[in-house]
Amino acid sequence: MQRLGASILIAALVLSPLPAAALGSTDTGSTGTTPEAQVFSDAELDVRRLVINPTAAPDTSVAVNFSAPPAAGYAIEVEHPDGTIDSIPTERDGFYLIKHTWHAALTGLQPATAYRYRVARDDLDEESATGPDSGAGDWHSFTTAAAGATDFDFLYFGDAQEGLRDAWPPVVDAGFEAVPEARLSIHAGDMVNWAPIQMEWDDWFAGLGANAADRLVMPVPGNHETYGDSRMRYFRMNFALPDNGATDETSYYYDYQGVRFVGLDGNRDLEAQAAWLDEVLTDNPHDWTVVTMHQPIFSSAVGRDEPEARAAIGPVLQEHDVDLVLQGHDHTYARGYVDEDATETPGVTSGPVYVISNAGPKHYQQQPIDDNTWTQNGATQVVRHGQVSTYQRIAIRGCELEYTSVIGAKGSNPTTDLGVGEVLDQFSIDRCGEDKLVTDGPIADDGRAPEDQNPDEDPRPGEEVPSEDPTPSDDDPTVAPTGDASPAPDDPETAAPTPDPTTDPTASPTTDPTASPTAGPSDAPDEEQPGREDDEDDEGTDPGQPGDDRSDGDRSDDPPRTEPRGGNGTESGEDSGGDRGTLPRTGAEAGTALGVGAALIVLGATALILRRRLG
């Protein structure tokens, strides 16, 4: 048993990611072309999660990150406008199962210039009979940022988290189809539901598709990026972000064509990030500032509030007059401002605009319109909606900014009659004069009407909504019986009365029990023996396990949902066993456990061999 436990422990460790310091970095060779490389596709090389991320200087560099099987090394081949190709070595970040993640910084580029790049593999194994010694995948392209302030568009998405294969792709596709010129996309955390589940990361990146490989992707971690991974190793393994923040690759900033973009980590170290943010915004040379974080300054969902973020980060955002604060976490849509930024003109404010959005199929109930986190903390919601998944287009046009939120999908009980593809919210920011002005655009449905509200008692999807005002009938009530009277009940006598119990003793006394135990278990009784009627297995979901929305990394429980979870339709903690009854466990379950243990032993041994061979 000790050996079995040790083997399982080894297998579990092998399945965990290892940081680059444990693995070391892999140099694929000096800079130069690789003319002998054979051409394959990314699929043939099993290259996944290919993404380009901003560096601190996106006008002259970009970062590339991807996952791929173990190899002696990978390089990024970069084709310059004159046709020359450079080969940039990659570094290995860590591994999971039999896949590794790799990254490289492409530097020395020219501003506002289009480049092509691809992933190249070098096995360095002349005796291998399973594939080529080297090969390169598909070509991808990107354009570096301009050196100065230049007009551009970008997209902003809230939480994807669930439905990553079927619900997330249509929303993100709709955004890029509507804004094909978008230069980058912002993702406000909770990209996945459970950070260690690698299939979820594969699905999230697959939803972005070529838009991750051809345009900059700016993510920030949400609380679900900490589930099962409090140090957010998986988040950092899947992206190559600037290392210039208060936390390691989870807070950072960069400048892009006249806009200072700042990403914050709402999970930890808020005071330290607030001090760092104050320095970053004090030294900001640009007119525009966009800050992204997962947890909202002013929450919109029932049961949600982030007083720590509001106390630490909120004053810094207000002091530096940040233009946009793009957030997620609450699975609703909300947009508003701090009351002190109101002007005498209706629909016009100054100061930061706070936005919460949702891109996935998971929806939460809204807080009451007249008593919520906004009203309790001196802020106002201009637009609020539930059960909508949206994408946001943001256009920088000189000294003006245009914001448009579009419905990408709807839940079963939405608070708006607007359809998919219609504009949910829009406003503009004007910095052309002495004072900044935020002006509401035409809003067809602000979600503030009484009939638009989604109170705590709102029925879950699929339930019939009772009428609040029943319509009286003009017909008199029925006073006479309808149809024939019910027949008298049939009460036949039994054929014979039940016999009385016998009073005579048995022929011989019952035998005494044996003194020694039997060789095997007794035969099962013919009839069910008495016992506890409620002796059922409690197989509710344990906190912190996949499928549950709570872990040590979350500061609060999830609020009530207005749509059921996917999967088997049971909430966390409910018995998902259906009609399994109260039968005792059998040897089949023990065999299953042994089979799982054996599989882990084989997997652990295989991984150890791979680690020793690959160094």
What is residue 349's predicted lDDT score, i.e. its pLDDT? 98
Position 615 in a domain: no
Stretch among 301-310, 461-470, 493-502 having the lowest mean pLDDT: 461-470
Q: Are residues 137 and 159 in the same domain?
A: no
Top pLDDT among 603 and 147 is at 147
- pLDDT tops 60 at residue 554: no
Do 393 and 267 share a structural domain? yes
Does residue 335 share a domain with residue 188?
Answer: yes
* Per-residue pLDDT, 22: 30
Answer yes or no: do 347 and 415 share one domain: yes
Give tens-digit pLDDT for 193-202.
999 999 999 9
128 is a domain residue: yes
In a domain, 76, yes or no: yes
Residue that is last in its domain, among 147, 168, 189: 147
Q: What is the mean pLDDT of residues 572-583?
A: 34
Q: Are residues 121 and 219 in the same domain?
A: no
Distance CA 242, CA 234 (A): 16
Give the per-residue pLDDT at 191. 98
Residue 89 belongs to a domain: yes
Per-residue pLDDT, 72: 78
CB distance 559 to 305 below 8 Å: no
Residue bearing the bigger pLDDT, 81 or 2: 81
pLDDT of 361 above 50? yes
The pLDDT tens digits for 326-358 are: 999 999 999 999 999 999 999 999 999 999 999
Mapped to the 3 state alphabet, what secondary structure does 375-411 carry? HHHCEEEEEEECCEEEEEEEEEECCEEEEEEEEEEEC
Judgement on whether residues 328 and 232 belong to the same structural domain of the protein: yes
Share of the chain above pLDDT 90, in %: 61
- pLDDT given at position 99: 84
DSSP 170: H
pLDDT in the model for residue 599 = 52
Residue 3: what pLDDT?
44
| CA–CA distance, 574 with 538 (Å, rounded to integer) | 9
At 107, the amino acid letter reads T
Task: Give the C-alpha separation, 274 to 315, whole Å.
Answer: 9
The angle at the Cα of 247, spanning 142 to 321, to the nearest 5 degrees, equals 75
Please determine, for residue 255, whether its predicted confidence score (pLDDT) is greater than 90: yes
Q: What is the pLDDT of residues 169-188, one digit of tens each?
A: 999 999 999 999 999 999 99
Please tell me the predicted confidence (pLDDT) of residue 7: 44
Q: Is the pLDDT of residue 161 over 70?
A: yes
Tokens 């020793």 belong to which residue?
612
Sheet holding 288-292, edge to edge: 252-256, 259-263, 288-292, 324-327, 353-356, 333-338, 379-385
Q: Cβ contacts of residue 115 below 8 Å, gap of 6+?
A: 78, 79, 80, 81, 106, 109, 141, 142, 143, 144
**CATH number of the domain bearing residue 29:** 2.60.40.10
Mean pLDDT in residue range 506-519: 53
Which of 131, 147, 163 is a domain's end point? Answer: 147
Contacts of 612 (CB under 8 A, 6+ apart): none
Q: For the chain, give the percent of residues with pLDDT over 70.
A: 64
Tokens of 589: 């379950």
User: Is residue 315 domain-resident?
Assistant: yes
| pLDDT bracket for residue 559 (50, 70, 90) | low
Confidence band of 540 (pLDDT split at 50, 70, 90): very low
Q: pLDDT-based confidence at 516, cuts 50/70/90?
A: low
Same domain, 85 and 200: no
Residue 536 domain flag: no
Residues 6+ apart with CB under 8 A from 376: none
Q: What is the CATH number of the domain that holds 331?
A: 3.60.21.10
56 is a domain residue: yes
Residues 6+ positions from 227 with CB-CB distance below 8 Å: 193, 194, 195, 196, 544, 551, 553, 554
Residue type, 37: A
Residue 448 confidence (pLDDT)? 80
Indicate if 219 and 127 belong to the same structural domain.
Answer: no
Q: What one-character DSSP code corresponds to residue 592? A: H
Place 19 in a pLDDT band, splitting at 50, 70 and 90: very low
Q: In this predicted model, which residue has the larger pLDDT, 430 or 133?
A: 430
pTM of the model: 0.72
Question: Does the pLDDT value for residue 210 go beyond 50?
Answer: yes
Kindly indicate the confidence band of residue 34, based on its pLDDT and cuts at 50, 70 and 90: very low
Q: Please check whether residue 401 lies inside any domain of the structure.
A: yes
Cα 151–chain centre separation: 30
- State pLDDT tens for residues 68-89: 998 878 999 999 999 999 999 9
Based on the domain organization, do 37 and 164 belong to the same domain?
A: no
State the Cα torsion 356-357-358-364 to the nearest 10°.
50
Instruction: Determine the structural domain holding residue 431 and report its residue range.
Output: 151-460
User: Is pLDDT at 578 greater than 80 in this prediction?
Assistant: no
- On whether the CB atoms of residues 343 and 351 are closer than 8 A, the answer is no
The pLDDT of residue 194 is 96
The pairing of strands 259-263 and 252-256 is antiparallel
Residues 180 and 142 in one domain: no
- Residue 156 sits in the same domain as residue 130: no
Whether residue 288 sits in one domain with residue 248:
yes
pLDDT for 93 equals 84
> Which of 460, 491, 508 marks a domain boundary?
460
Q: How many domains does the chain have?
A: 2
- What is the model's pLDDT at position 576? 35
Residue range 113-129, pLDDT digits in tens:
999 999 998 764 444 43
Token pair in block for residue 600 = 């882990």
Q: Average per-residue pLDDT in the chain?
A: 78
Cα angle value 397/398/399 (rounded, 5°): 110
